[in-house]
Amino acid sequence: GQNIDQPTEMTATEGAIVQINCTYQTSGFNGLFWYQQHAGEAPTFLSYNVLDGLEEKGRFSSFLSRSKGYSYLLLKELQMKDSASYLCAPEVGNTPLVFGKGTRLSVIA
Amino acid sequence: NAGVMQNPRHLVRRRGQEARLRCSPMKGHSHVYWYRQLPEEGLKFMVYLQKENIIDESGMPKERFSAEFPKEGPSILRIQQVVRGDSAAYFCASSAAGTQPQHFGDGTRLSIL
């Protein structure tokens, strides 16, 4: 089985930077996905990390440390529209993704 | 629209009725996944299918629930004799192969009266 741990809720200010952490314990790890889900909407793909290190994509960056079973999603220049749940999902072999419960981010003015 | 299409968006059923949820994957995708999401909860994997085959149904209740992905047509998630606890959002996702990422449909919100 997999064990995925993310903070349940976070609050940050518009224009600031926020880091959402995810730790996981799994065997047969391939890579790690981050998805964004606005309330009442479908999850949308944000990033996929296979190698250790930071991958930057606009205002969003994702980091992976395979040896530590740790990833984070970094959101810069926060906007109100970034208020959403952020889901961490380790990929194990060709098995279906198992999602963490997600971190609900609230961006306040 | 080349995305994952789910219908209906909203479905209301009375206890004991049957619910049928449909999912057409993205063009070129042959792998379909169904997830259930309760309010304020995370996505729970239910079943993984390829054309005409169930690959993994470890997350699907053994009774009342079934899924298929026929050679022609959409994937169907079928819930028989629905109960109040079946009320949830049901999301379908598709991918090109066992490789990811999965692309999600907008979901079907099932309400049981």
pLDDT tens digit sequence for B48-106 = 999 889 999 999 999 999 999 999 999 999 999 999 999 999 999 999 876 668 899 99
pLDDT higher for A103 or A100?
A103
Does position A1 have pLDDT exceeding 80, yes or no?
Answer: no
Q: How far is B14 from chain A (nearest CA, A)?
A: 22
Cα A79 to Cα A17: distance, rounded to the nearest angstrom: 10
Q: What contacts B4, CB < 8 A, 6 or more positions away?
A: B23, B24, B25, B26, B29, B92, B93, B94, B103, B104, B105
B18 — contact with chain A (CB < 8 Å)? no
B90 — contact with chain A (CB < 8 Å)? no
Cα A40 to Cα B39: distance, rounded to the nearest angstrom: 9
Q: How confident is the model at residue A27 (pLDDT cuts 50, 70, 90)?
A: confident
C-alpha torsion A23→A27→A31→A34, nearest 10: -40
Look at residue B77 in the predicted model and tell me its pLDDT. 98
Does position A11 have pLDDT exceeding 90, yes or no?
Answer: yes
Q: Are B45 and B102 in contact (CB under 8 A)?
A: no
B91 — contact with chain A (CB < 8 Å)? yes
Q: SS3 for A79?
A: coil
Q: Are B25 and B3 in contact (CB under 8 A)?
A: no
- Measured between CA atoms, the residue of chain A closest to residue B107 is A42
Nearest to B106 among A33, A42, A99 (CB): A42
Q: What contacts B19, CB < 8 A, 6 or more positions away?
A: B11, B13, B78, B79, B82, B86, B110
- Measured between CA atoms, the residue of chain A closest to residue B39 is A40
Going by DSSP bridges, is the β-strand pair A9-13/A60-65 parallel, antiparallel, or unpaired? Answer: unpaired
- Measured between CA atoms, the residue of chain A closest to residue B47 is A96
Look at residue A21 in the predicted model and tell me its pLDDT. 97
Q: How far is A104 from chain B (nearest CA, A)?
A: 10
Look at residue B42 in the predicted model and tell me its pLDDT. 84
